[in-house]
Copies of this chain bind each other. A is one copy, B any other.
Amino acid sequence: MFGWKKWGILALVVGASMLTAVKFSTGSPCPTPVSSARYTADGKLMLPQGYRSWAFIGSTVTPNGLNNGKAGFPEFHNVYIERVNLGAYRKTGVFPEGTVIVKELALVRNATHPDGSTDEASGRGFFEGELNGLDVTVKDSKKYSETNNWGFFNFGHHALPYAESAKEASAAECAGCHQAGAATTDMTWVQFYPNLRTKN
């Protein structure tokens, strides 16, 4: 009889532990960290992981052919944000502290016309070729207070693989343009990203 009592108590304790575990796991089935920004010991931002599975918010293309061969970014810009922070932005209109936004570049494919466009079954236009670079911005009001709370990082403007870490870019390289043109929308070109403006 003592055996049953012992096993009963043990089973109750194990069951209670499991109940707690199940409660927490069902409360948030796919928890996402508020920020994925990770830094090396010497303060460089580490290359974000898995960003192509984050939420896409919009794409732009500024080809060399339309910029006298001197486009700052002659590729498509595909822009991603972590889902948890996109949800917060849609609710509040503010990017939460820790937000990471990634801009991956993709070469314009088969530039056959002088403007860089090409002809495909769907018409003449611009089509994505190979991936060609990565820029990242992180919202952190303590680290980047001098550049409107956002730090900017370049992980290479070339084919894969990108750099494993990057130091903060100077204001002249990145933040300056965002401060001049997007200061009123939290340093982000919200007008170009329709998926920021929808409700889901």
Residues in A lying within 8 Å of B, measured CB to CB:
1, 4-5, 7-8, 11-12, 14-15, 18-19, 21-22, 25, 29-30, 50, 52-53, 55-56, 58-63, 66-67, 71-73, 76-78, 80, 83, 106, 109, 115, 117, 120-131, 160, 177, 180-181, 191-195, 198, 200
CB-CB nearest in chain B for A74: B123
Distance to closest chain B CB from A47 (angstroms): 12
| A123 to B75 alpha-carbon distance, docked (Å) | 11
Question: Could you say which of B30, B106, B129, B130 contacts A30, with CB atoms under 8 Å apart?
Answer: B30
Which one of B71, B78, B181 contacts A56 once the chains associate, using CB atoms below 8 Å?
A: B78
In the assembly, what is the distance between CA of A11 and CA of B7, in Å? 9
* Complex CA–CA separation, A15 to B20 (angstroms): 12
Q: Is the CB of B121 within 8 A of A180?
A: yes
Least CB distance from A87 to B in Å reads 9
Docked Cα-Cα span, A80 to B11, in Å, equals 47
27 A-B residue pairs with CB within 8 Å: A1-B5, A4-B5, A4-B8, A18-B18, A18-B19, A29-B30, A52-B56, A56-B78, A58-B106, A59-B76, A59-B78, A60-B126, A61-B125, A62-B120, A62-B123, A62-B126, A63-B125, A66-B115, A66-B125, A67-B123, A67-B124, A71-B125, A77-B122, A106-B194, A120-B192, A121-B181, A160-B198
* Contact residue among B11, B83, B160, B198 (Cβ-Cβ distance under 8 Å from A12): B11
Q: How far is the CB of A5 from chain B (nearest CB, A)?
A: 4
When the two chains form their complex, are residues A109 and B191 in contact, meaning their CB atoms are under 8 A apart? yes
| Extra contacts besides A1-B4, A109-B191 (9): CB < 8 Å | A15-B18, A21-B22, A52-B55, A52-B200, A56-B80, A58-B128, A61-B126, A73-B123, A129-B194
